[in-house]
Copies of this chain bind each other. A is one copy, B any other.
């Protein structure tokens, strides 16, 4: 049983290899992710990581730390608030904010990602089921 206020975080550096591998897995070869020139010409001023790559760190927190093994991922909303560049260190934070249904083990979890300058790059919430 989780309690409101319980929290966990996970930090990972985003490498060029990560972005290339994520493009292969996802099929998203948008040039802004794939080469420095296209990134440089874009509004972002440089090659950026896929938003879903940073979002995947939220999956890591929920799936391995809070709640961890046994978590069933019901929903997630994501606001991509700032770009993430190669070499950025992203910290995904999860905090239980509401027990939606204690019998069914349904929880609302605030999920946010920050870069190494503590700027929020993703804001959002997840709903998970966890009966352990």
A residues whose Cβ falls under 8 Å from a Cβ of B: 10, 12, 18, 21-22, 24-33, 38, 42-43, 50-53, 55-60, 63-64, 68-80
A76 to B79, CA, bound (A): 7
How many copies of this chain? 2
Q: Is the CB of A60 within 8 A of B27?
A: yes
Known: A28-B63, A55-B76. 14 other contacts (CB 8 A): A18-B25, A21-B21, A21-B25, A28-B59, A29-B60, A29-B64, A31-B69, A50-B56, A51-B59, A52-B56, A52-B58, A55-B55, A75-B80, A77-B78
Q: Which residues of B contact A33 (CB under 8 A)?
A: 63
Contacts of A53 on B, CB cut-off 8 Å?
25-26, 56
